[in-house]
Structure 1
């Protein structure tokens, strides 16, 4: 099938970092993001061109526009924004896989910018969508589900029947708990606010602790000892890793899967010298560490559950030209559901 591809397209580009205090101000966001007209890129060997239908926002989108996201720290400005989305493959730069992907509806993760009318992608890293999966669901079927599967597999491989996870009301944590429960694991959800407790109970958490409780560390320590929890996830950073690793039994592992606090993290050397371990989970590096067969099986596990366990709750949608408002809104509603940037029409 031949597609009529224009020479120009609209793309959202970042021209400089945004100070954290301006995240909820769309007028300030407009000073660092621009919707501009650029040439439609041409795919090279092993690449395809995807006509974007929509993209989804994740916490790393906010880190990226602030200029503090570890995976894109050295990306020069102006640079693309948006990482996750879905669309249709409309051109191939050559190769068997690229030609086989032509005309396919796909979901993808793309560090070169997803909030644009067309994007380049590695033909081998696309997830081909079944006919019964809509773009609205597919656009959120990469980052959180793959992260949830990967983290759940790490927790299961640790041998611990229980694991804890901070920011448990967030989308990534809830996805991880869902997958882990399907693997037979039990979770200890750690939340930041009292009103998030019921949400985590509905996700099947065996225990829910509020980190704002003055006895939080004492309670977590006692609980980890009681259920022999030797694995935990944290995405808060700052002083929290020190608190968490003190609560874990000797020989346990604390895995960092993010950093709400972008400053230095606190650890206790005496713990690390005596059997406790620190690990770091980052989705792209996890996927790149897998064999082609393992990547295929991972994509099948995700896509086969998009209409079930991995189905996203889409909270609000914005047109591409209103992306400034989308960023501001998302910064204040991160646990309410998915925020999506709509570029094309659903089909």
Structure 2
């Protein structure tokens, strides 16, 4: 550890899972989320300590605080919150990779609690920032761009020229469409509200369907048949996958990339026994499936295009002390852009 580092830091700690409906009330959130003074963690071999400049919120942050995020279900309370962000490497736990990154400005993803003054990170998974890239853009340059690239690659590999995607006005879906269009694919955007149609058309969607339309399933069925769309993404869950699979030609694949409805997901066994398939996309597992060289190439592709193809829209910034308000605001304004939690 560096000698001039303080021994304590401010960090957000969650005391327990948020009850259903509590996200709409910052005062209710404050009963479960507290800003505390804790010891600065010590990096182990292969890890570094990063002084966090800011963190970004994503849908998995809402799942995590509700206690239903699949990747952190077994994490004990009290526990950290926040996954994506950017900062400066200030200490190394051992290893050449960490040593080489001391003093570097980096973007990264960590399960150790990004919404804190300092956080641990895997030295090999850091994205070193170019000098002309600000922390504001860098802090939102990991989750959505990498997810968008990964999902677009899966859609491309399916062989289908068209794909559909639900919650299409959301940041992840828009990023996926943007990348997929550069691969020569065409998208069918599925939205929940009429005012979201224009957003998807601006992203270049070939078709936009409103799931609130009483004829939605028929319209999607007819369209999938017309353009031979055999691949689609869903992040709604509940009974939506059942509707989507019924709309797709035989032999199609539905990929789940989230679950806004955190209850059971409905499928039709007869479909799955007759050629339809289900996949699940999770960003961290996708990254871990890549070789070190492929990860490096992906990180360079993303970071070199943060001010272009992958440029994030930042809609609002909050301090660590305002985290409860940030969570509540984000839960009501997810399609408006990124929410960031600042340390400085």
Q: TM-score, normalised by structure 1?
A: 0.98
Q: Do the aligned residues in 2 keep the contact of 1:3 with 1:90 (CA within 8 Å)?
A: no
Q: How many residues align?
A: 343
Q: Deviations over 1:9-64 (max 9, x none)?
A: 00000001111211011111000001000011111101000000000001111111
| Rounded Cα–Cα distance in structure 1 between residues aligned with 2:183 and 2:25 | 42
Q: Deviations over 1:73-121 (max 9, x none)?
A: 0000000000000000001011110001111100011111100000000
2:150 is matched with 150
| Rounded Cα–Cα distance in structure 1 between residues aligned with 2:146 and 2:20 | 28
1:176 is matched with 176
Q: Do the aligned residues in 2 keep the contact of 1:166 with 1:189 (CA within 8 Å)?
A: yes
Let me know the Cα RMSD of the aligned residues.
0.8
1:237 is matched with 237
1:100 is matched with 100
1:250 alignment partner, SS class: coil
| Rounded Cα–Cα distance in structure 2 between residues aligned with 1:36 and 1:192 | 39
2:54 alignment partner, SS class: strand
- How far the C-alpha of 1:265 sits from its partner, in A, is 0.7
| Rounded Cα–Cα distance in structure 1 between residues aligned with 2:233 and 2:11 | 35
Q: Deviations over 1:162-218 (max 9, x none)?
A: 000000000000000000001110000000000000000000000000000011000
| Rounded Cα–Cα distance in structure 2 between residues aligned with 1:140 and 1:4 | 29
1:108 alignment partner, SS class: strand
1:124 is matched with 124
1:79 is matched with 79
| Rounded Cα–Cα distance in structure 1 between residues aligned with 2:190 and 2:69 | 24
- How far the C-alpha of 1:3 sits from its partner, in A, is 7.2
Q: Do the aligned residues in 2 keep the contact of 1:43 with 1:91 (CA within 8 Å)?
A: yes
Q: TM-score, normalised by structure 2?
A: 0.99
2:233 alignment partner, SS class: strand
- How far the C-alpha of 1:4 sits from its partner, in A, is 2.6
| Rounded Cα–Cα distance in structure 2 between residues aligned with 1:126 and 1:59 | 22
| Rounded Cα–Cα distance in structure 2 between residues aligned with 1:99 and 1:207 | 50
Structure 2 matches for 1:14-33, cutoff 5 A?
Answer: 14-33=14-33
Q: Do the aligned residues in 2 keep the contact of 1:108 with 1:127 (CA within 8 Å)?
A: yes
| Rounded Cα–Cα distance in structure 2 between residues aligned with 1:315 and 1:20 | 26
> Does 2:315 match 1:315?
yes
Residue segments in structure 1 that go unaligned for 5+ positions in a row: none
1:23 alignment partner, SS class: helix
Q: Structure 1: which 4+ aligned runs deviate by more than 3 Å?
A: none
1:309 alignment partner, SS class: coil
| Rounded Cα–Cα distance in structure 1 between residues aligned with 2:178 and 2:3 | 40
1:89 is matched with 89
2:289 is matched with 289
